[in-house]
Structure 1
Amino acid sequence: MTAEIGAEDLGIDVTRGEAELFKWFVASFLFGKRIQRDIAAEAYRVLVERNRLDTPHKLRDCGQRRLVQLLGQARYVRYDESTAARLLKLGDKLLTEYDGRLGRLRELGETHDGVEKRLLAFEGVGPKTVEIFLREAARGWF
């Protein structure tokens, strides 16, 4: 079995605040799917590093067609349409329900279980994504 990829492997420091936490949430979302780790990492790099989709606003406003193109550049093609749609919804939900801040999600969730429940309410976020995300985020949250 391959080693888990962590935030540091992608140059993300989740202890540095909201912007870094959002990047890790996007990465966790991509890694949470049944897709090769290297492809998920490249999708993260294409979306966040190269195309600066590094805020909920930018992600939501990107548009599905553009997201599908970017995921294709990274060879993240198995779920490109559904992943693009869910990424748009992820950005929108974070903006409309949590003022665009994962920290707000944490505040409202209060406990580890409460935060897990709120994360699972995002379309396309399952237990694996939550596990990956909280493995790093929990260092500063709980």
Structure 2
Amino acid sequence: MAKIISAQDLQIDLDGANEAGLFKWLVASFLMGKRIQGEIAARAYQVIVEDHQRDTPQKLARCTHRQLVAMLGQAHYVRYDESTASRLVALANKLNDEYAAKVTNIVAASADRQAFEKRLSEFDGIGPKTVEIFMREAAGVLFEHANRSTPSQ
């Protein structure tokens, strides 16, 4: 059985539901949610986000399809490179356009965790596996954070 790769393994800080960490974990989860080896997906994350500094939705959205395919190829993420490149740009654009480039705004727009997961699955290329991977580590910080920021009655 393959090792489960965590946010900590990728040196992604999710503490306090910080936006930078949440976006990075969303990209990593997106890449790991495909039928591809976890190590290759982790390397693709590192190439795109760390090596090429595409660490915000705005920066990722400015990538061309060709640039992303090349980055994915650099990580040997070649089985789904064309569709993944298109969907990564679509993910960044949707996050930018509909949620002001913030994962936490998806939470704010959602009544509860189930509604959040539904909204997440509306992103092109995000299916149940990607939602599962993302929520495995983000749910605690997202919904703990949301509950703390709600004023008490």
Q: TM-score if structure 2 supplies the norm length?
A: 0.91
Q: Quick check: which one's helix share is greater?
A: 1
Residues 24-44 of structure 1, C-alpha deviation per residue, up to 9 Å, x if partnerless? 000000000000011001000
The match for 1:132 is 133
The match for 2:89 is 88
Give the letter aligned to residue 23 of structure 1.
K
Q: How many residues align?
A: 142
Cα deviation, residue 110, structure 1:
2.5
The match for 2:142 is 141
The match for 2:101 is 100
Cα deviation, residue 2, structure 1:
2.0
Give the letter aligned to residue 90 of structure 2.
K
Cα deviation, residue 9, structure 1:
0.4
What is the alpha-carbon distance in structure 2 between the residues aligned to residue 3 and residue 80 of structure 1? 23
Q: Which 10-residue stretch deviates more, 107-116 or 89-98?
A: 107-116
The match for 2:25 is 24
- SS of corresponding position for 2:12: coil
The match for 1:123 is 124
What is the alpha-carbon distance in structure 1 between the residues aligned to residue 120 and residue 68 of structure 2? 22
Q: Which 10-residue stretch deviates more, 85-94 or 14-23?
A: 14-23
The match for 1:68 is 69
Sequence identity percentage: 56
Does 2:58 correspond to 1:57? yes
The match for 1:7 is 7
Give the letter aligned to residue 28 of structure 1.
S
Task: Report the structure number with the largest CA radius of gyration.
Answer: 2
Give the letter aligned to residue 31 of structure 1.
M
- Structure 2 unaligned residues grouped into runs of 5+: 144-153
Cα deviation, residue 139, structure 1:
1.3
Give the letter aligned to residue 69 of structure 1.
A
- SS of corresponding position for 1:109: coil
What is the alpha-carbon distance in structure 2 between the residues aligned to residue 15 and residue 140 of structure 1? 7
Give the letter aligned to residue 117 of structure 1.
K
Q: TM-score if structure 1 supplies the norm length?
A: 0.98
- SS of corresponding position for 1:13: coil
- Structure 1 unaligned residues grouped into runs of 5+: none
Cα deviation, residue 71, structure 1:
0.3
